[in-house]
Structure 1
Amino acid sequence: MKIKLKRIYETFSPTDGYRVLVDRLWPRGISKENAHIEEWNKELAPSNELRKWFHHDPKLWKVFSEKYETELKEKGSGKEFLDRNKKQNLITLVYAAKDELHCHPLILKKYLENLILNDKIS
């Protein structure tokens, strides 16, 4: 299984594979028809409290990354997501953040890839 990232505002492509919106809030200006997503998984997104605390402040990136990874481990939603989608060849994590260097899907992708690599999915 391969995982890639893509902003929801980029052009949809059939080669994106299984598209999953991983934001807690629906992206502005995008209709559900134009989103071309198979799943909206809010459980993979940071909690509302963590999202509001971070507020996309690059100065908080390191601490945010650690807190978000801890949330992912505690919730177990990453393993559940991978177990449910283990037959997918390609999963594209779709998100709305403008700052592509300081956004939670970067952390999520790495976390999911580590689960796959360490065979923690059944």
Structure 2
Amino acid sequence: MNIQLKRIYDPASEEDGYRVLVDGMWPRGVAKRNAALDEWCRELAPSKSLRQWFGHDRARWDEFHRAYRAELREGDGETLARLREHARRDGLTLLFAARDVEYNNARVLKDHLEDDA
């Protein structure tokens, strides 16, 4: 399984495979026509209340990670299965807008996809 993470603001490359935006809101400053997306899976983003509570506060990371994984387990299994298949077949790049490249929802989603494969 080949899953990588990338900020939406970084240029697309041939190594990206299937490119999926996993944020609930469209990122500022990115024109949809220039995003080089294959899909926008906003339904896989953390709930608004969880996202706001986390606020990219690293002290809350462990609790955010657990809570978001619980949301993913209750969410859209078909979409997750489809993304796993892209990761196996073509490679998958999960795109996000957060400045913090280590502590963000895409990292949790990557863990979830790999652990439940």
Normalization by structure 1: what TM-score?
0.86
- Structure 1's consecutive aligned runs of 4 or more residues displaced over 3 angstroms after TM superposition are none
- 1:90 is matched with 91
Task: Give 3-state SS (helix, strand or coil) of 1:19's partner.
Answer: strand
Query: C-alpha separation between the residues in 2 aligned to 1:62 and 1:82?
Result: 22
Query: C-alpha separation between the residues in 1 aligned to 2:49 and 2:27?
Result: 18
Identity %: 47
RMSD value, Cα: 1.3
Query: C-alpha separation between the residues in 1 aligned to 2:37 and 2:68?
Result: 23
Task: Give 3-state SS (helix, strand or coil) of 1:62's partner.
Answer: helix
- 1:37 is matched with 37
Query: C-alpha separation between the residues in 2 aligned to 1:29 and 1:102?
Result: 22
- Written as runs of structure 1 = structure 2, the 5 A alignment for 1:1-122 is 1-75=1-75, 77=76, 79-85=77-83, 86=85, 88-116=89-117
Query: C-alpha separation between the residues in 2 aligned to 1:14 and 1:59?
Result: 36
* Worse-superposed segment, 52-61 or 18-27: 52-61
Cα offset, 1:96, TM superposition:
0.5
Query: C-alpha separation between the residues in 1 aligned to 2:52 and 2:7?
Result: 20
Letter paired with 1:84: R
Task: Give 3-state SS (helix, strand or coil) of 2:60's partner.
Answer: helix
Gaps of 5+ in 2: none
Gaps of 5+ in 1: 117-122
Query: C-alpha separation between the residues in 1 aligned to 2:78 and 2:102?
Result: 26
Task: Give 3-state SS (helix, strand or coil) of 2:109's partner.
Answer: helix
Normalization by structure 2: what TM-score?
0.90
